[in-house]
Each structure stands twice: as C-alpha cells, then as structure tokens.
Structure 1
Amino acid sequence: MTVTLMWEARAESGRGAELLEWARAQRLRAEPLRRETFTAEPDRVLVMTWWDAPGTDADVPELPEPPAGLLTRPVHRWRFVSRDVTP
C-alpha cells in the first residue's frame, strides 16, 4: 500500500523563501519512494512524501516543526492512502 504524507506550512509575510529553504534541507530518517515540494502564495510550502507502508497509522518519518517565529500558524499534516494512479 502507498501512504502519502502531506505537510503544509505558511511562513510569516515575506519569509516564504526561507521556509522553502528550511523544508528542502530537512532529511528524513528513511528515504521515501518519492518526495515533492511545492509553493503557493502567500508564502506557503507544501511537502508530499510517498511511502510503502501498511496503512495511515504506519511509523513513517515526517518533517519536524520549523523554527519558532517562522510560521503564521501551526503546520497542517494529513495522511492519505493511494487508491489508484492514472498515467
């Protein structure tokens, strides 16, 4: 089964590039099947990682909380199970 972790954060105004740099620098204790990083206005960063795991409650690495003062609100996190892939 493929489990996808979605990590989304919003930086303080004008600090989106700093948050992006921080997120890209984070190393996980294991390598995911795939990792993608996205940005959106205003100052948002989204990181998605795909894992071969038995379910959404599996013990897979997640990105930590960014440094204090960098965000406007707590990080949002979701876990999904892939149901199909369309090429």
Structure 2
Amino acid sequence: MDIQHEIDGSKGRYFYSADGGPVAEMTYSVAGERMIIIDHTEVPDAYRGQGVGKALVARAVEDMRHAGKTITPLCPFAAAQFRRHPEWHDVLSR
C-alpha cells in the first residue's frame, strides 16, 4: 500500500488513494520538536475492511520512531490502534 505524507508548517497528513479513487487520510498537528498529535482519521467506505486506517497509523509510527518523536493519539481510531498494538508504545507520548 503506497501511503503518502505531506506536511505544511504545523499540520501534516498521511493519505492513500487507489487508482485515483477516494482519499483516506490521517491528519496530525506538530506539537513542538519531539511530538505529533494525531487528530483525525477518515477512511471512505470503498476502503473499509482493507486495513487502510491501520496502515496510515502504522506509517506514522514508523516515521516518528525513525525521527525520535512521540505520538499523542487524540483521534479515537488512532487511540484504539495503539491499544491493539503494544509494540507501538515506544512512540506513545506519556
């Protein structure tokens, strides 16, 4: 799955679209130099049940782990994914 990433100042997003179809996205805010806050995840019905939402969060986890940053998942979907994946807790902001 080809997850894309965009950042513009203090706002960013990870997104996915298959063959020009609808866009699934997870948005976040930059909170200082060492943390991001995931604030919203939206997956269109066309992608439901395909693991797209999880892939968006997983990509953020991978990128933040590599950058030495932490994540605060305010979005209910992202928070649920962190509960399901204790292996991601190294990047979970406490």
TM-score range, shorter chain: 0.3 to 0.5
Give the structure with the higher percent helix: 2
Q: TM-score, normalised by structure 1?
A: 0.34
TM-score (norm 2): 0.32
Higher RCO (C-alpha under 8 Å, 6+ residues apart)? 1
The structure whose Rg is larger is: 1
